[in-house]
A and B are shown apart, each in its own frame.
Chain A
Amino acid sequence: MNRKALTRTESILAVLLVVAIIAGAVGWTQPGQRIVETVTSTVTVGGSAQTITTTRVVTSTVTVERPISPGAIKIAVVSDIGGRGDLSFNDMAFKGGDEAEKDLGVQMVELISKTEADYVPNLETAARDPDVKLIVGVGFLLSEALLEVAAKYPDKNFAGIDTFTQALAVQKTGKPLPNMLDIVYEEHKGSAMVGALGCLLAAHYNELGGNYPYIGGVFGIEIPVLWKFEIGYKWGCDWGLKWYEQRFGKRAPLIGEDGRYGSGPNWRDGLYCPQAGQCWYKGRVLWTYTGTFSDITKGYAAAKSMYEQQAIAVYNIAGPLGLGINQAVQEIATEKRLTSGPPYWIGVDANQDWINPGFVIASMMKRVDRGVYYAALLTVIGKFKEVVADTNGVLVLGIGTKVGNLAMEGISVSTLADLDEFIKMGVDAEKLTGKKVLPMSPEEIRQKVTEMRQNLPSWIWDALTELESKIRSGQAQVPMVLTKEEVDRWRELLG
């Protein structure tokens, strides 16, 4: 009897389990999504506010040349498995599509990829619609899928954000595809901007009696893509401290002068001078490759030790590990009852300033939305294939980048204006997922970030503006490091 009763309970449980598992199977893809989202965000970064004026000019020219009836041209945006609500790549891409709808009179259709197996069928579904002229794949994970589908539909335009489809095409067939545009970003320039910001912050707080000899950088897996960020960031710090010297006629307190960074034959007053007349602020950046793009606790551990060594700000170059950095900052803030930094951290890819208002000094933004917008623009004015031919199919967006004589930029340091866009994105994501995304009300976020920025002296922002314009004019050349030899050389100079 007993045994039977037990079997019965078991069986009921078993049946319930089946139902639960099926129900679960339909809804449970979260773990996968999370992590890949991560990878995508890591290997991407950038943006630009300066382009707006130029773009408007282009648009009006277009209207004169070729009147567009609204909805005539469709563009399709295919997400990676992060989907809508990722507050990063995919959300920004859809935002670019929205803007193209508004300005260019195109119609955007969306396709969300639930698994990696959806990339090809999603791209193909879009390509087969006769009204769709442009298909954009968001994120480098779609590189192979774009190669396959773009080759199959030569009449359609394809673009990929951060993809390397053309490199794959050259590998496979010896020549790039005529209808495919990889859109990539100058992350090294943006990293230089936030590197300068970090070291000037240290200088400022040291003037006020602080003790901040370092800035920090938490990186993901050491893949060549990240070297651009690393060296750019270190180079930016050096540029910032040199700028301070010129502007104020003295070394920046502590971070500019201290003897702790190294000693030996090539060292002179805290500077590393391998050749006469060429000195570098070496060793100011604490940096760690955590070997992961998903283990948030490693981001926390790396950042914690940096803050213990009095780093004033830590740059997140490992996607979701930023949440670990944030946790380390929050611990200090709670312990010391701070309402604003220092310590700070620096966001990447999207505007991450809202994640912990008052403690994220700025973000290095990669404007995925601009990428989508430009691809749509080129399609509408009928120059897409021309640009593909001129650029070998790789469109680089950064600071001061141009196509013909049109400025097309895609990298910037976050501003208060960007913040509003991202708060709106956060509000939308809350509506979509029903989960709380924003840490406080939009008004409070705006107020705290504004306060934080206004508490800094204007010369810090002057310095950034100057660096940006010098990068744009070519006076400042941020090293773009792609090989092991180069990265070793720069590490020798900058630490």
Chain B
Amino acid sequence: MLQQNLSRKIRKTLKKLAESMLAVAVGLVGGAALMAVYGYDFVKAYRALFLGAFGDFSGFLETLAFATPLIMTGLTFAIGMRSGLFNIGAEGQMYMGAIGAVFVGGMLNLPPIIHLIFATVFGMLAGAIWSLPAALLKISRGVHEVVSTIMLNWIAFWLVTYLITYHVADPARAERAVPAQETARYLVIGASLTTVFILVIAFSLIAYFLLWRTTLGYELRVVGHNQEAARYAGINISKTMMTSFFLGGLAAGLAGVSQVLGRPPHWTVFATMGNLINIGFEGIGVALVGRNHPIGIIFASIFYGGLLHGGRFMEFEAGVASEIVRAINGIIILALAIPAALDLVKKIFPRKNRGETG
């Protein structure tokens, strides 16, 4: 029985892996076709992409630096999905995390290690608190989280823009917020990677442990599988939803924190938020590629980070126009996300069919 179970599990994992590999292949072929249409040497370009992103140590560290915030925003979406929520609010929560880190990291004077811890925790909480309106609206009024989180994203965008422009602007540099002080910065490991990466990995492992090894995580996942059954089993749905949003918000907040306290050479947010924009949304793609699994998301983020960092080598060495580089990255990610999206559809449709026929 146990063995049968195990082999089934392995088969399932292998199948998923095969699907992902096929998706990578499809994505690469699609990108190559696009390059061929525009007359670029795609072999040279792909070689540059992968060698640039993974071919040497400092390039790999840079890739990890790009992956760091994506691991967290991917996790936000994944935790939501695992508990049956379509939480796409990571973007706004991440902005709040970043501005929280700016407030404590840039504006306050505190002793070294305490400063860093306080700024990190404050930023994470800011992200988590920003997720609560969506949670409360969902629980009390049944407002769909897609609608509320999208709206909250925009509110966060303009709120943070306002704060950077009028309240935490660097007095000498109108284009950005005050940078985090030296006492509130993560140590640089190499290239643009800092020790915040370790914290991010730790957070992912804790999330994994929480979801699969605790009662709370079990309840969360039961709610995600079947809300009615969960209710029947006496699980407090409101509580699990709050927990799911809050955990997701902490993760997104840490994504924002990592861009302020853990990313040289600026250590701050620009008034345009150019160094934050899209990190939350890219997390959705990352989560789909990583099959909404904390460990899967780490690898998916590193892959995505590799595309972000390696893309510049396609431009530099193979002369591929930067717009085409972006399109190729898009094709690869789309192809990778399709199996997960199909899963989503499969999960939804049989149930519907049954519901309708029965």
Contacts and interface: CB of A to CB of B under 8 A. Distances in A.
Interface of A: 1, 4-5, 7-8, 10-12, 14-15, 17-19, 21-29, 31-36, 39, 76, 81, 83-84, 109-112, 114-122, 124-126, 129, 141, 144-145, 147-148, 220-221, 223, 292-293, 432
Nearest to A84: B322
B115 interface: no
Contacts of B175: 36, 39, 141, 293
Contacts of B356: 1, 4-5
26 contacts: A1-B355, A8-B348, A10-B144, A14-B344, A15-B348, A17-B146, A22-B288, A23-B330, A26-B330, A28-B281, A29-B278, A31-B272, A31-B277, A35-B274, A39-B175, A81-B272, A83-B322, A115-B275, A116-B274, A117-B275, A120-B191, A124-B62, A141-B175, A141-B270, A144-B265, A293-B174
Contact of B348 (A11, A84, A110, A147): A11
Q: Which of A17, A21, A109, A221 has the most CB of B within 10 A?
A: A21
Contacts of B263: 117
Interface in B268-311: 270-275, 277-278, 281-282, 284-285, 288, 309
Interface of B: 52, 58, 62, 65-66, 86, 88, 144, 146, 165, 172, 174-175, 191-192, 259, 263-266, 270-275, 277-278, 281-282, 284-285, 288, 309, 312-313, 315-316, 319, 322-323, 326-327, 329-330, 333-334, 337, 341, 344-345, 348-349, 352, 355-356
In order of increasing CB-CB distance, the 10 nearest A-B pairs are A26-B330, A32-B274, A25-B281, A112-B322, A116-B275, A144-B265, A4-B355, A11-B348, A35-B272, A22-B285
Given A23-B330, A32-B274, A125 B313 contact: yes
Contacts of B345: 11-12, 15
A319 to B, nearest CB: 11
A344 B277 CA distance: 37
Given A36-B274, A81-B272, 14 more contacts: A1-B356, A17-B86, A18-B288, A22-B288, A22-B330, A22-B334, A25-B285, A26-B327, A27-B326, A32-B277, A35-B274, A76-B316, A115-B275, A293-B175
A34 B146 CA distance: 27
Contacts of A8: 348-349, 352
A122 B273 CA distance: 19
Contacts of B273: 32
A39 B88 CA distance: 31
B341 A111 contact: no
A170 to B, nearest CB: 15
Nearest to A14: B86
A93 B62 CA distance: 27
Contact of B334 (A19, A109, A122): A19
A223 B58 CA distance: 38
B274 A121 contact: no
B176 to A, nearest CB: 9
Nearest to B265: A144
B239 to A, nearest CB: 22
Contact of A221 (B174, B344, B355): B174
A117 B146 CA distance: 29
Contacts of B337: 18-19, 22
Contacts of B316: 76, 109, 111, 125-126, 129
A118 B308 CA distance: 9
Contacts of A148: 264-265
B277 A122 contact: no
A17 B348 CA distance: 15
Nearest to A168: B265
B265 A27 contact: no
A117 B191 CA distance: 12
A114 B322 contact: yes
Q: Which of B274, B282, B322, B327 has the most CB of A within 10 A?
A: B274
Contacts of A27: 326, 330
B312 A118 contact: yes
B122 to A, nearest CB: 23
Contact of B284 (A18, A31, A39, A122): A18
A122 to B, nearest CB: 6
A21 B322 contact: no
Given A26-B329, A83-B322, A120-B192, A18 B341 contact: yes
A112 B144 CA distance: 39
Contacts of A28: 277-278, 281
Nearest to A28: B278
Contacts of A19: 334, 337, 341
Given A14-B146, A121-B192, A36 B272 contact: yes
A144 B322 contact: no
A17 B333 CA distance: 15
A121 B281 contact: no
Contacts of A35: 271-272, 274
B93 to A, nearest CB: 15
B275 A26 contact: no
Contacts of A36: 175, 270, 272, 274
A29 B329 CA distance: 14
A7 to B, nearest CB: 7
A415 B265 CA distance: 40
Nearest to A30: B277
A12 B349 CA distance: 9
A22 B174 contact: no
B232 to A, nearest CB: 17
A122 B312 contact: yes
Contacts of A25: 278, 281-282, 284-285
A22 B333 contact: yes
A293 B355 CA distance: 56
Nearest to B289: A22
Contact of B315 (A7, A29, A112): A112
Nearest to B354: A4
Given A22-B281, A25-B282, A121 B174 contact: no
Q: Which of A36, A116, A221 has the most CB of B within 10 A?
A: A116
B191 A121 contact: yes
A4 B66 contact: no
B34 to A, nearest CB: 13
